[in-house]
Amino acid sequence: MLQLTGVTVRYGSFTAVQDVSLRIADGEVVALLGPSGCGKSTLLRAIAGIEPLAAGRIEWDGVDLARIPVHRRGFGLMFQDGVLFPHRTVAGNVGYGLPRGLWARPDAAARVTQLLDMVGLAGYGDRRVATLSGGEAQRVALARALAPRPRLLLLDEPLAALDMSLRAGLLADLEEVLRSTGTAAVFVTHDRGEAFAVADRVALMRAGRIVQIGAPAEVRAEPVDAEAARFLGLDGHEGGVMHGMARGARRAAAAGVVDASAADDSSVHPQRR
């Protein structure tokens, strides 16, 4: 179980992530949904251990991760555009994170084959990375991230670099893979369709904070405020939605995700008044 408490990340004087608290249960898929620049990718990188925290704690099963370096966390990270190792083959990429050592070799080869099967790229092992299409590269990146059986999979806009037609296919596969392996995952996206399709819970982020969190249907039915409603593509002027919006805000405040004043649009985004 992953527990974030008051996580804050700063770049110089700019605060990218501010006081985020979040709990992710084993096997749960949480989507971080928000416009670009809202700090969702930074939060993901902080969980991975790439960005140092300015304040707050990240714990896994009660163990503080502050002193655990990136490579010892056992989390998988999938980048927006794959970031495959260009000098390795497909199999070399997928097998990179597997335990090394003489006795592990035959096992590793079998695992690579199994994963390439799982992402629909059986027989691609010897291909050079440069020969892959965008969708294939993302599938390899997914297989690479899953190979070491990470306890948590971090997905940073895994579909954003793909064509619309490829997205639907990979999204379905991704959901299937997450479901079948039972891997807990944090899925960062700016696309509400993706978030609602894949996640058990959706966390709506804005200006470095989580403004609302809940099951997809819940978030959709009761956006926390007008801006959330606009971002979710819901018409904020319909009475029902307005009603639901207020309820959402109260619920979020009660859950301690946002302070009650965040329900007032102006305090979150003064310039949008």
- Residue 273 CA to residue 269 CA, distance in Å, equals 7
Q: Provide φ and ψ at 117, rounded to 5°.
A: -60, -50
Stretch touching another protein by CB under 8 A, among 15-23, 111-119, 195-203, 248-256: 195-203
Element housing 216 (H / E): helix 216-221
Residue 73 binds another protein (CB under 8 A): yes
Nearest to 199 by CA among 211, 181, 223, 217: 217
Alpha-carbon distance of 197 to 20, in angstroms, equals 24
Helices (H) and strands (E) in the chain, counts: 10, 10
- Note whether 108 binds another protein by CB under 8 A: no
Site residues (CB under 8 A) for another protein, limited to 124-153: 144-145, 147-151
Only segment of 102-110, 179-187, 245-253, 259-267 that touches another protein (CB under 8 A): 179-187
Among 108, 197, 242, 246, binds another protein (CB under 8 A): 197
Q: Residue 127: helix, strand or coil by DSSP? A: coil
| Residue 64 Cβ vs another protein, minimum distance, rounded to whole Å | 9
Q: Is 26 in the site for another protein (CB under 8 A)?
A: yes
Output DSSP code: residue 16: E
Q: Smallest distance, Å, CB 65 to another protein?
A: 8
Q: How far is Cα 70 from Cα 227, in angstroms, rounded to an integer?
A: 35
Query: At 191, which amino acid appears?
Result: D
Count residues near another protein (CB under 8 A): 64
Binding residues for another protein, rule: CB under 8 A, are: 25-28, 35, 45, 48-50, 52, 60-61, 63, 65, 67-77, 79, 83, 85, 87, 96-97, 144-145, 147-151, 154, 164, 167-168, 171, 179, 181-184, 190-194, 196-197, 200, 215-218, 220-221, 231, 233
